Amino acid sequence: MLTETDALNSHDATLDGEFALDIGGELVEPTTWVDDLDPATGAVLARVASATAQEVGDAVEAAKAAAPAWAALHPTARGSLLRDLARLVRRDAEQLARIETRDTGKPLTQGRADIAAAARYFDFYGSVIEGFQGDTVPLGSAAIAMVDHEPHGVTGHVIPWNYPAQISARSIGAALAVGNATVVKPDVVAPLSTLHFARLAREAGFPAGTINVVPGDGPTAGAALTAHDDIAHVSFTGSVASGRLVAEAVARRGRPALLELGGKSAHVVLEGADLDRAAPVIARALLLHAGQTCTAGTRVIVHRSLHAALVDKLAVLFEAATVGRGLDDPTVGPVVTRRQQERVAGFVERAQAEGMAIAAQATIPDGLDGFYAAPTLFGDVPQGTELFGEEVFGPVLAVTPVDSDEEAIAAAENTRYGLTAAVWCQDIDRALKTARSLNVGQAMVNGYAAGGGVELPFGGTKDSGYGREKGVEALREYSRTRMLFIDLAGA
Ligand code: NAD
């Protein structure tokens, strides 16, 4: 008989059981089940619930019932539960890492890193909430005002398929810490780790209704959540097109939203860059989770004097990249769906049709039946092309030579996105000046610490969205200030 451990360790086995809705602290049988495919094999991995609008409404009701008591708790009590949840995530880390790997396709090392980061989010928000204090405003001897932080009430969280564990944890970690009750909608493509977090939260002793998880599709479950009158704040991570629909739905009700919508992030490699230091980081930042990372550095803007040498170094790294099933821990696993695989192939074909040459490409071994896309390096990509401007969300890197720092900055800014960027140059004045001139949410110098930084405020400009996740900043996002004025004139 197949055990759960067998299933977790085998690319050929489905995961035990069905993954129901998690509403009001209980597993709820859904109206609709859908197949969750294993990207490594294309076979059915698990059967998961796909919530209807009614079921999303039930989850919102459960959260609404739980919200006042949760908000009224001492912050230490909420923080302590979050830290207990972090402990349980660490206890089950290997199981969760294998679930995340099988559900999303990413290499096991990356699955493990994601679960470690998820535990850190719960720990971080469980800890910093205790020091998240309000303020007083001096108004002379006749009055004083206090400013404190109030939760929004019930918050809605729309989670994409690329980093479900990390994105769920960072988003609900902050929202719960400040006293919101949450309704989380993971994508049916990869909902399993988020559902496991809800089970662990129950074990930790979270009150019923504080964490409700309703996997579902965008047009039905996502739309029902974001349009619901009792959702006081929405955090959304995903595509620009869906993000705009969400923003419209939330604005129609006059409520706030946070949008994290991806990017076309640039590595700006100036004269004086240390290429031996830069090349491996650039390759890794792109190949991580097969390029399906919103912060993936997908464009390299390089000074012409370093262009050939950098392309050569990147080519070696791309050709050496191994492609395989996530549990076998290659450099690059499959992309998440057949649709994503076709999307990536389309970008590569159109770039070649436009006359761009592939400088290096990794080999996909025979015998892999899942959704694989070969890591591909284009060494000379003109500005104005689709590959220069559009987010591929696959393992495709575009290198573009320029002739000056000014041209490099202009090229880096020549995008509708503004998520992250990195500047590479050993002349620190020049590197800092360039980094500070870039219109992005996170700029880095001689490194690429994007994404993973639990304590680093994260979000975009331009089409990459607005609002900030991560860090203490997210506690402000998931709360609102309330001013309390006390008139002492007659005292
Ligand atoms: P998507 O935007 O459709 O899906 C992301 C999430 O939004 C999912 O949970 C989905 O169910 C939900 N959603 C979709 N439409 C919705 C709606 N109308 N209302 C509420 N929720 C809705 O993204 P996708 O189709 O899965 O991927 C397409 C592209 O999006 C990718 O190629 C990539 O460019 C981008 N993407 C970006 C990120 C990121 O981290 N920023 C993550 C995933 C996808």
- Residue 19, SS3 per DSSP: strand
Q: Of 372, 394, 393, whose CA–CA distance to 42 is shortest?
A: 372
Q: What is the pLDDT of residue 451?
A: 56
In this predicted model, what pLDDT tens digit does every residue of 146-175 receive, in sequence order?
Answer: 999 999 999 999 999 999 999 999 999 999
Residue 68: which pLDDT band, with cuts at 50, 70 and 90? Answer: very high
Residue nearest to ligand 1 atom 6, measured at CA:
160
The one-character DSSP state at 265 is E
* Within-domain flag for 253: yes
Distance CA 259, CA 52 (A): 23
| DSSP β-bridge partners for residue 301 | 268, 400
Q: Which single residue is written with the structure tokens 């919508």?
A: 261
Number of domains in the chain: 2
Same domain, yes or no: 257 and 276 = no
* Within-domain flag for 459: no
* Within-domain flag for 111: yes
Residue 4: which pLDDT band, with cuts at 50, 70 and 90? Answer: confident
Quick check: CB of 465 below 6 Å from ligand 1? no
Same domain, yes or no: 159 and 283 = no
Distance CA 443, CA 422 (A): 6
- d(CA 268, ligand 1 centre) in Å: 28
What CATH number is attached to the domain comprising 447? 3.40.309.10
- d(CA 24, ligand 1 centre) in Å: 26
AA letter at 369: D
Q: Of 264, 74, 98, whose CA–CA distance to 165 is shortest?
A: 98
* Within-domain flag for 488: no
Instruction: Give the H/E segment covering residue 36.
Output: strand 33-37
Same domain, yes or no: 438 and 470 = no
- Residue 99, SS3 per DSSP: helix
Q: Which single residue is written with the structure tokens 């590479």?
A: 424
259: CB partners within 8 A, 6+ apart = 236, 243, 246, 247, 460, 465, 466, 467
Q: Which single residue is written with the structure tokens 């909608």?
A: 185
Same domain, yes or no: 250 and 291 = no
> Six-digit token pair at 438?
């870039």
Q: Assess whether pLDDT exceeds 80 at residue 330.
A: yes
Same domain, yes or no: 234 and 105 = yes
Q: What is the pLDDT of residue 287?
A: 98
Count other C-beta atoms under 10 Å from residue 475's C-beta.
Answer: 19
Query: Which of 171, 242, 391 for a ligand 1 pocket mutation test, highest count of atoms within 8 Å of Cβ?
Result: 242
229: CB partners within 8 A, 6+ apart = 253
Quick check: CB of 239 below 6 Å from ligand 1? yes
Q: What average pLDDT does the segment 90-118 reach? A: 98
Same domain, yes or no: 52 and 170 = yes
- d(CA 109, ligand 1 centre) in Å: 25
| 172-202 as b/e: b if 16+ CB within 10 A | bbbbbbbbbbbbbbbbbbbbbbbbbbbbbbb
Q: Assess whether pLDDT exceeds 90 at residue 491.
A: no
- d(CA 205, ligand 1 centre) in Å: 32
The string of DSSP codes covering 268-320 is EE-TT--HHHHHHHHHHHHHGGGG--TT-EEEEEEEHHHHHHHHHHHHHHHHH
* Contact in structure between 85 and 200 (CB atoms under 8 Å): yes
Same domain, yes or no: 66 and 122 = yes
Q: Assess whether pLDDT exceeds 90 at residue 49.
A: yes
Is the sign of the CA dihedral 320, 321, 323, 329 positive or negative? positive
Distance CA 366, CA 348 (A): 20
* Within-domain flag for 428: yes
Q: What average pLDDT does the segment 287-303 reach? A: 97
**Using N-to-C axis directions, what is the helix angle for 164-177 and 108-128, rounded to 10°?**
0
Same domain, yes or no: 182 and 224 = yes
> Six-digit token pair at 143?
């009055």
* Within-domain flag for 461: no
Q: What is the pLDDT of residue 6?
A: 83
Same domain, yes or no: 240 and 328 = no
| DSSP β-bridge partners for residue 458 | 469
Is the sign of the CA dihedral 453, 457, 463, 465 positive or negative? positive
Residue nearest to ligand 1 atom 27, measured at CA:
239
Quick check: CB of 346 below 6 Å from ligand 1? no
In this predicted model, what pLDDT tens digit does every residue of 115-140 receive, in sequence order?
Answer: 999 999 999 999 999 999 999 999 99
Q: What is the pLDDT of residue 7?
A: 85
Q: Of 11, 169, 148, whose CA–CA distance to 88 is shortest?
A: 169
Instruction: Give the H/E segment covering residue 185.
Output: strand 181-186
Q: Of 128, 131, 69, 233, whose CA–CA distance to 454 is shortest?
A: 128
Give the range of the structural domain holding residue 427, as residue numbers without chain letter. 265-454
In this predicted model, what pLDDT tens digit does every residue of 242-274 receive, in sequence order?
Answer: 999 999 999 999 999 999 998 999 999 999 999
Quick check: CB of 99 below 6 Å from ligand 1? no
Listed range (1-5, 22-26, 282-286, 401-405) with the worst mean pLDDT: 1-5
* Within-domain flag for 487: no
Residue nearest to ligand 1 atom 12, measured at CA:
218
Mean pLDDT of the chain: 96
What CATH number is attached to the domain comprising 475? 3.40.605.10
Q: Assess whether pLDDT exceeds 90 at residue 450.
A: no
In this predicted model, what pLDDT tens digit does every residue of 174-184 receive, in sequence order?
Answer: 999 999 999 99
Q: Of 36, 41, 35, whose CA–CA distance to 10 is shortest?
A: 41
Residue 12: which pLDDT band, with cuts at 50, 70 and 90? Answer: confident
Distance CA 461, CA 417 (A): 7
Diameter over CA atoms, the chain:
84
Q: What average pLDDT does the segment 279-305 reach? A: 97
List, in sequence order, the alpha helices (H) in 30-107: 53-72, 75-91, 93-104
Q: Of 373, 320, 395, whose CA–CA distance to 39 is shortest?
A: 373
* Within-domain flag for 489: no
Query: Which of 239, 245, 336, 392 for a ligand 1 pocket mutation test, highest count of atoms within 8 Å of Cβ?
Result: 239
Q: What average pLDDT does the segment 347-354 reach? A: 98
Q: What is the pLDDT of residue 13?
A: 83
Same domain, yes or no: 442 and 308 = yes
Same domain, yes or no: 234 and 307 = no
Q: What is the pTM of this model?
A: 0.97
Question: Which atom of ligand 1 lies closest to the CA of 263?
Answer: 41
Residue 1: which pLDDT band, with cuts at 50, 70 and 90? Answer: low
Same domain, yes or no: 214 and 269 = no
| DSSP β-bridge partners for residue 269 | 302, 424
Instruction: Give the H/E segment covering residue 417.
Output: strand 417-418
Residues with catalytic function: 185, 260, 294, 391
Quick check: CB of 156 below 6 Å from ligand 1? no
Q: What average pLDDT does the segment 429-433 reach? A: 97
